[in-house]
Structure 1
Amino acid sequence: MAAKPAPPRPAPRLYLATPVVDDPAPLVASLPGVLAAADVAAVLLRLRPADPRGMISRIKALAPAVQDSGAALLIDGHADLVARAGADGAHLTGIDALQDALPTLKPDRIAGVGGLTTRHDSMAAGEAGADYMLFGEPDARGQRPSADAIAERLQWWAELFEPPCVGFAATFDEAMEFATAGADFVLVGELIWDDSRGPAAALADAQQAIRQGHAMSGTSRSGMMPA
């Protein structure tokens, strides 16, 4: 009997990182229109450090704009604020930060992780219970692997492991390449906010690049951002 073919892998979805937010008012006003321009699975809120009450206030101000669009709201770090602010999860950097945050976030909220410089770190994060792995984001010095190296890591993960993988794309070409490599999600940030045409147009172009890359992939794998 012939093996049943695997179902086609869904096209990767977008994961949008905000600029570093101090005053949330401009983003509260613009974000609904930006998110309407493409299929965004989640928004990563990057906060300027402040006292916890001030950061919670900013999260609560932005949460409806994100969650009413159907996207999950994740906080960059600050796992201890997630539940108090009504966010959906947190993104952690490195294995130690992930393990420290898991008791706070699980089982009800998303715990994503980046800063995974080796394959061993990636597998350890998966075994620890991370909901997704991010590959390719800049480190503290602004350095990141080559696009080819990021694509290779995404392909390796997608072929062997179940938790979703996310590729950090600094260009539209990278968004296409990472979709081809097997990313479940593509994270975009400054690529969107720095575009002279405005973030909505840039986000729509990022989605188009992802769809083009997916059409060239020929792989079969499914993956959704946990709720």
Structure 2
Amino acid sequence: MPRLYLATPVVDDPQALIASLPGLLAAADVAAVLVRLKMADQRSMISRVKALAGPIQNAGAALLLDGQVLDGHVELVARSGADGAHLTGVAALEDALANLKPDRIAGVGGLATRHDSMTAGELGADYVLFGEPDAKGQRPSMEAIAERLQWWAELFEPPCVGFASSREEACEFAAAGADFVLVGDFVWADPRGAAPALADAEQAIRQGYAAASGQSKEQVKAGRELRWE
């Protein structure tokens, strides 16, 4: 069954997030957390990641850094204790691979075309992300993202991730064949709190997966879950 991939808000002071992470990560099955840092000097960013690493990794989730703050300094991933990085675009992936492989995860988004996606897979990306907003905040329709996920899942081996901006999209992308569903802003903005919103997103994934595979909810729970390798 597809698993959750949680993106944090932009982190400046990590203390509030640290306090909420244990309960949040206990509310749902989260495979990985994408830490989005506020730009700062290297020492400050390393300190923030190290502070977040304990509660994230102790919960069994991988900690990935948003590569947009690395500014070419991919070595910060290892120095901070992160498990990997999420890069934007084929060029950024290619530049980072030597520093990340084989010990750390190298994921990539910002793949505007099918050719870019295939190139990323050939280079050795550990996953490809579809559906995130571009630099102007625009993104494809839910249907277009689902189509791209289905295309990838049917033809290629590396996992694919769907960027979901709502519970509905989480359900749709799980049904389309996503291995992971990335959630973020809509979870943190939920007036009930992030934990129930995250649990709802997980339930939406289960429903989408069950509908696509013709399984009942009980069969989904009993099935073998995909693990982040």
Is contact 1:155-1:182 (8 Å) kept?
yes
**Aligned equivalents of 2:27, 2:164: Cα separation in 1:** 18
Q: 1:28 aligns with which of 1, 18, 24?
A: 18
Whichever residue aligns with residue 50 of structure 2, its letter is K
Mark the runs of 5 or more structure 2 residues left unpaired by the alignment. 215-223
Is contact 1:15-1:185 (8 Å) kept?
yes
Aligned pairs for 1:33-48 (under 5 A) are: 33-48=23-38
Could you say which residue in structure 2 is the equivalent of 1:6?
none
RMSD of aligned alpha carbons: 1.5
Could you say which residue in structure 2 is the equivalent of 1:130?
125
Is contact 1:184-1:222 (8 Å) kept?
no
Mark the runs of 5 or more structure 1 residues left unpaired by the alignment. 1-10
Report the identity percentage.
73
* Alignment partner of 1:186 is 2:176: no
**Aligned equivalents of 1:90, 1:42: Cα separation in 2:** 11
Aligned pairs for 1:1-227 (under 5 A) are: 11-77=1-67, 78=70, 79-218=74-213, 224-226=227-229
Deviation at residue 225 of structure 1 after TM alignment: 2.3
Secondary structure in structure 2 of the residue aligned to 1:70 = coil
Is contact 2:153-2:178 (8 Å) kept?
yes
Is contact 1:18-1:46 (8 Å) kept?
yes
Q: Which runs of 4+ in 1 moved over 4 A?
A: none
**Aligned equivalents of 2:189, 2:76: Cα separation in 1:** 28
Is contact 1:164-1:223 (8 Å) kept?
no
Deviation at residue 223 of structure 1 after TM alignment: 5.1
Whichever residue aligns with residue 63 of structure 2, its letter is L
Secondary structure in structure 1 of the residue aligned to 2:171 = helix
Query: TM-score if structure 1 supplies the norm length?
Result: 0.93
**Aligned equivalents of 1:144, 1:224: Cα separation in 2:** 28
